[in-house]
Amino acid sequence: MTVLIVGSIGLDTIETPFGKKKDILGGSAIHASISASFHAKTAMIGVAGSDFPKEHFDFLKSKNIDVSGIQILPGETFRWSGYYEYDMNQAHTKDTKLNVISLFDPRVPDKLKDAEYVFLANLDPKLQLKVLDQLTKPKLVAMDTMNFWIETKREALEKVIKRADIVLMNDGEVRQFMETPNIPVAAAKLLKLGVKTVIIKKGEHGALLFSDGVHFSAPAYPQDILRDPTGAGDSFAGGFIGYLAKTGDISQANIRRAIIIGSTMASFNVEDFSLDRMKSLRPEEISARVEEFRRFTEF
């Protein structure tokens, strides 16, 4: 089953205690799609500027990702710059330049309109809605967002949330969005908006699932190599939805397994800057880490 992912395609400038890198490959759709592509056939919708290096397209194609929904517009690619301190759960944004994203009118190619597994990665919620409007029979729609859109496009964001089956947010975002410091209360408020499942990502503290009367808590991988947490949330989501699409099973039990797959993919992505670790990642390494997860969560 194909996974359709829409989100940002970006060039990030990132500073962590382990170094500073300028204009490296990033963006929510990029991190999510590369991660999903390890599990299922993946197609991407997004926009890049004329300055977007060809080698990055070659990387997407090497992962067999369908790039027919990517537009190249004259102008500069989206740029995000941020830094992390020793508490790497918290990204600090220095600057966001939407550039060609502000001109983007997403068009889903005809052959992808019947996609069943859809991930609306972090992007202007008005654009997330435009993509949703073009789909004919989505079976599972998951979405993500961030403080930038919570602060600037709240109304549109609520519309996306009401149409999503699964909302993924990090702990800081859900607290901000639901205006409460209490995560279970924030999750309950989101469920009241009509969402079936809420997944809250807590960085090095794992992920929590809330659904009608159901709660599940997954630990994070005990990360001994952590150089750049950028894209952890997106690679989590990509692995999560990729696994659901591959198995075609959206039962509660399988959603729990998908959370472990998502956590595994995120744990690899943060081992190096940008998507560098994903470039060398092998399927056997993924299975071995999932097995480790199984061992340390069993009691």
Near ligand AMP by CB under 6 A: residue from 141, 142, 232, 258: 232
* Chain residues 73-112 in contact with ligand AMP, contact rule CB under 6 A: 80, 96
In sequence order, the 6+-apart residues with CB closer than 8 A to the CB of 79 are 10, 11, 12, 13, 23, 95, 96, 97, 99
CB of 247 to ligand AMP, least distance (A): 23
Binding mask 174-203 for ligand AMP (x = CB under 6 A): ------------------------------
Q: Which is nearer to ligand AMP, 116 or 237 (CB)?
A: 237
Give dist(CA 104, CA 31) in Å, integer.
19
Angstrom distance (rounded) from CA 31 to CA 28: 5
Nearest residue to ligand AMP by CB is 26
Residues of this chain, 116-155, that bind ligand AMP according to CB under 6 A? 122-123, 146, 148
Residue 254 is encoded by which pair of tokens?
A: 């399988």
**Contact with ligand AMP (CB under 6 A): which of 2, 16, 28, 267?**
28
Enumerate residues 6+ apart whose C-beta is below 8 A from 228: 14, 16, 18, 21, 84, 270, 272, 273, 274
Residues 6+ apart with CB under 8 A from 32: 5, 7, 119, 121, 234, 235, 237, 238, 241
Minimal distance, residue 237 CB to ligand AMP, in Å? 8
Spatial separation of the C-alpha atoms in residues 13 and 22, rounded to whole Å? 4
Q: How many residues bind ligand AMP (CB under 6 A)?
A: 18
Q: How far is the CB of 35 from ligand AMP (least distance, A)?
A: 10
146 in helix, strand or coil? coil
Identity of the residue, 190 or 203, whose beta carbon is nearer to ligand AMP in the bound complex: 203
Interface with ligand AMP (CB under 6 A): 8, 10, 12, 26-28, 31, 80, 96, 122-123, 146, 148, 230-234
